[in-house]
């Protein structure tokens, strides 16, 4: 499968990462979670005690990113989620992260998950999946994840946070969250991770011919 790019986009907690990681293993392709890049930039700005909407600081943070930033263990949680979404709305931040994502995918093909992989990063991707699920189901999944990590959370608060972040991601002028015109839509509301993977692999193999 060398050289093939598979784009996996969709809203928060749809199961993109879980699915993309499994697809990459099945297709023997490298995997990149592009959300981590925005999360790491947001984290750097928060660490500086600044507002993640500060365009100059966020751009500098994006340009200074190192691989070690992506290994940090504090990239998830409500603060980190919103900081990622805030820096992701800044055009200069997106521009600074573009080359890395494209080089990663071009080296030997890849499965990448995010919001704009099929629309902006790899508009020429061989296969594009847009993975979604109802907001209630996505909130339930994120809530269970938080519980599993021992983080106290409130389901209705998790749902409100997801709604807010999706609205912010979908309404930004640059690279908004939306399916590419040629993306295959996969609604996993009633599918567990295993069934979603089986359905996705079938769709991907169909596209690859």
Q: List binding-site positions for ATP.
A: 10-18
Give the bridge partners for 185, in sequence order. Answer: 130
Shortest spacing between CB 60 and ligand CDP, in angstroms: 18
Q: For ligand CDP, which residue of 47, 71, 74, 192 counts as binding (CB under 6 A)?
A: 192
Q: For ligand CDP, which residue of 141, 143, 161, 184 counts as binding (CB under 6 A)?
A: 141
Q: CB of 34 within 8 A of CB of 101?
A: yes
Known binding residues: 10-18
Chain positions 81 to 100 lying near ligand CDP, rule: CB under 6 A, are 81, 84-85, 88
Q: Which stretch binds ligand CDP (CB under 6 A): 30-38, 46-54, 57-65, 103-111?
A: 30-38
37, containing H or E segment: helix 35-47
Q: CB of 93 within 8 A of CB of 99?
A: no
Which letter does DSSP use for residue 120 in this model? I
Please name the residues in contact with 77: beta carbons below 8 A apart, sequence gap of 6 or more: 151
CA quadruple 117, 89, 32, 77: dihedral, nearest 10: -130
Chain positions 46 to 75 lying near ligand CDP, rule: CB under 6 A, are none
Does residue 188 belong to the site contacting ligand CDP (CB under 6 A)? yes
Residues making contact with ligand CDP (CB under 6 A): 12-18, 34-35, 38-39, 81, 84-85, 88, 114-117, 141, 145, 165, 169, 188, 191-193, 196
């Amino acid at each position: 499968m060398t050289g093939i790019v598979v784009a996996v986009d969709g809203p928060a907690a749809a199961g993109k990462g879980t699915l993309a990681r499994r697809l990459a293993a099945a297709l023997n392709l490298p995997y990149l979670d592009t959300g981590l890049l925005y999360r790491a930039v947001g984290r750097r700005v928060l660490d500086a005690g600044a507002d993640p909407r500060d365009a100059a600081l966020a751009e500098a943070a994006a340009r200074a990113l190192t691989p070690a930033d992506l290994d940090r263990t504090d990239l998830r949680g409500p603060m980190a989620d919103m900081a990622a979404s805030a820096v992701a709305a800044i055009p200069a931040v997106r521009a600074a992260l573009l080359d890395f994502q494209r080089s990663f995918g071009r080296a030997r093909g890849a499965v990448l998950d995010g919001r704009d992989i099929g629309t902006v990063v790899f508009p020429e991707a061989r296969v594009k999946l847009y993975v979604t699920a109802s907001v209630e189901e996505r909130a339930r999944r994120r809530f269970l994840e938080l519980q599993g990590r021992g983080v106290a959370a409130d389901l209705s608060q998790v749902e409100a946070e997801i709604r807010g972040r999706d609205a912010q991601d979908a309404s930004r002028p640059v690279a908004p969250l939306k399916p590419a015109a040629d993306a295959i839509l996969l609604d996993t509301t009633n599918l567990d991770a295993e069934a979603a993977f089986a359905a996705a692999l079938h769709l991907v193999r169909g596209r690859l011919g």
